[in-house]
Structure 1
Amino acid sequence: MSAALQNYRARMRRVLEHIDRHLDHDLNLESLSAVAAFSKFHFHRQFTATFGLSVHRYVQLVRLKRASHQLAYTDAQSVTDIAMEAGYEAPDAFARAFRQRLGQSPSSFRNSPDWEPWLAAFGPLEIARSKLMQRTFTTDDVTIRNVPTTRVAIMEHRGDPATLPVTIKRFIAWRKAANLHPSTHPTFNVWRSERRPAHPADYSVDLCVGIDRPMPGGGEDIKAGEIPGGRCAVLRVVGYTDDLEPAALYLYRDWLPSSGEEARDFPIYCQRLSFFPEVPENETVAELFLPLK
């Protein structure tokens, strides 16, 4: 890749990161073109050509994505407050934009999110991000760590990955009721299938929270278990941690065969160290653990 192209992509990546960090600010064309160090006239055309979205639509989608997470997973903010944070001067304008993109009113989405239209609405955003936000990993990014055995409470998700957000919402509601806050009780995902199995019904992942006391009641949805201790190859991922498949593939496909190590009989898993929208998407952090013999 030429130095000029690398510089161009770095400038565009800088814009995306600026948008994520400043969603509550005025993200107009003039300010964003200044971040990219392009003229306003050329920046608009270059942004659309690069990402397949206009600057305005990209910013709107990023704000609506944060708003949808706030509605689905948090109860502290009112719809009006969320609308203001999303850059709308009135709740009815926010409601119109939200319904246009997601097919539900904000209140309806908060009560019973329909995730299939959600995935379709934000597909263009993920495609745009993937053009510049892909990370490459090297052996220097991987460390070997001895980790302790961790007792966990588990909510299993079995079935179509498109319905995973429904399970996540139930998991968050349960751990709130059980007073198992992420700041004091670590969050893990244990993948027991591929991210995209041939048959969506075969998708399988465990949502886990570390526990240090007898497991709170959770009915049939929750069971006790443990993540076994031992040696693990650990890969830390910073930013855009919704899709950890590239990092997992690097560990399995590239790092493991050349390392001289042998995988242990336990699935790859991750610990989520920070969460969107509590932090901007480009600041979320997760660590992947590949258990070793």
Structure 2
Amino acid sequence: MMKAALRTYHARMRRVLDHIDRHLDRDLDLESVSGIAAFSKFHFHRQFVATFGLSVHRYVQLARMKRASYRLAYSDAQSVTDIAMDAGYEAPDAFARAFRQRFGQSPSSFRKSPDWETWLAAFGPLENARNKLMQTTFTAMDVTIRDVPPTPVAIFEHRGDPATLGATIQRFIAWRKAAGLHPKTNPTFNVWRSERCPEQPADYSVDLCVGTDQPIEPNSEVKAGEIPGGRCAVLRVVGNTHNLEPAALYLYRDWLPASGEEARDFPIYCQRLSFFPEVPEHETVVELFLPLK
């Protein structure tokens, strides 16, 4: 009975986080948010802090600021003023002050050259809060085996400290925009060639790839390659797709030994089907591929 009650309680709290993600442009006062969880507003604030380690107000602020920082770094179509308004600030200068206080950079400076290490540190509390309840439990029913055709790709390599991955993603996005390879027409893949958190950060290695059969002019960062075809175990992940380690661990540690299958000599990789902040974080979708013999 107590376990069932706890699962229900956690589901109500997850519903709150989903609501916040989906309605960052709206008024998210304590009364409206507590109503989503069907908790008394007189106790909800303490319940939220006890569960996530953050107040509702700070959680909403961090979630809005995270979306704003993504738009600054990865989407030059929106002006700083529009991004400030979407983040709930009535004037760009108020947004700039809050942004500088949190990241040590003005929004314009961050857009040109983000300090990703400071960014990661600033959002540590938000990620810790989300990870408390947002992990998915996978089962064998979630895994399908699929024959995957070979996919020619342009490869943008990242080698080195994962704290600098954001800068590589920026250059990757800028390059694919210039090449006319939009995510809606050309699929996006990540191929992991190291652990997510290797003992030495310098050993971190991942390929950012975009599917294309057009000729690639190689340079210091971009080269032509291929994701080989063949049988793959495929696990679809919805939400919390910035950290696919739990899903990968499930495939390697639980599913593979029980399946009787053998892994093929190619790294685990994913295809990203939807992206934050184009969709709320809990609606992002990834398919994770474990190549099989």
- Once the two structures are TM-superposed, the CA of residue 218 in structure 1 deviates from its matched residue by 5.0
What is the alpha-carbon distance in structure 2 between the residues aligned to residue 99 and residue 106 of structure 1?
Answer: 7
Q: Is the 8 A contact 1:263 1:292 kept in 2?
A: yes
Q: Is the 8 A contact 1:174 1:218 kept in 2?
A: no
What is the alpha-carbon distance in structure 1 between the residues aligned to residue 291 and residue 42 of structure 2?
Answer: 51
Q: Deviations over 1:18-41 (max 9, x none)?
A: 000011111111100100111111
Match of 2:96 in 1: 95
Query: If the length of structure 1 is used for normalisation, what is the TM-score?
Result: 0.98
What is the alpha-carbon distance in structure 1 between the residues aligned to residue 266 and residue 254 of structure 2?
Answer: 19
Change (3 A) 1:218 1:92: farther
Change (3 A) 1:273 1:108: same
**Superposition pairs for residues 108-257 of structure 1, below 5 Å?**
108-215=109-216, 217=217, 219-257=219-257
Match of 1:275 in 2: 275
Identity within the alignment, %: 82
- Once the two structures are TM-superposed, the CA of residue 220 in structure 1 deviates from its matched residue by 1.8
Q: Secondary structure at the match of 2:220?
A: helix
Q: Is the 8 A contact 1:20 1:281 kept in 2?
A: yes
Match of 1:70 in 2: 71
What is the alpha-carbon distance in structure 1 between the residues aligned to residue 136 and residue 213 of structure 2?
Answer: 35
Query: If the length of structure 2 is used for normalisation, what is the TM-score?
Result: 0.98
Change (3 A) 1:171 1:58: same
Q: Is 1:260 paired with 2:260?
A: yes
Change (3 A) 1:209 1:11: same
- For 2:263, the aligned partner's letter is A
Q: Deviations over 1:40-95 (max 9, x none)?
A: 11001100111110100000000000000000000110000000000111111111
Gaps of 5+ in 1: none
What is the alpha-carbon distance in structure 2 between the residues aligned to residue 2 and residue 222 of structure 1?
Answer: 51
What is the alpha-carbon distance in structure 2 between the residues aligned to residue 219 and residue 267 of structure 1?
Answer: 24
- For 1:19, the aligned partner's letter is I
Greater CA drift, 58-67 or 101-110 = 101-110
- For 1:269, the aligned partner's letter is Y
What is the alpha-carbon distance in structure 2 between the residues aligned to residue 139 and residue 4 of structure 1?
Answer: 26
Q: Deviations over 1:236-271 (max 9, x none)?
A: 000110000000010011100110000000000000
Q: Secondary structure at the match of 2:123?
A: helix
Match of 1:86 in 2: 87
What is the alpha-carbon distance in structure 2 between the residues aligned to residue 6 and residue 247 of structure 1?
Answer: 21
- For 1:102, the aligned partner's letter is F
- For 2:230, the aligned partner's letter is G
Q: CA-atom RMSD, angstroms?
A: 0.8
- For 1:291, the aligned partner's letter is P
Q: Secondary structure at the match of 2:215?
A: coil
Match of 2:46 in 1: 45
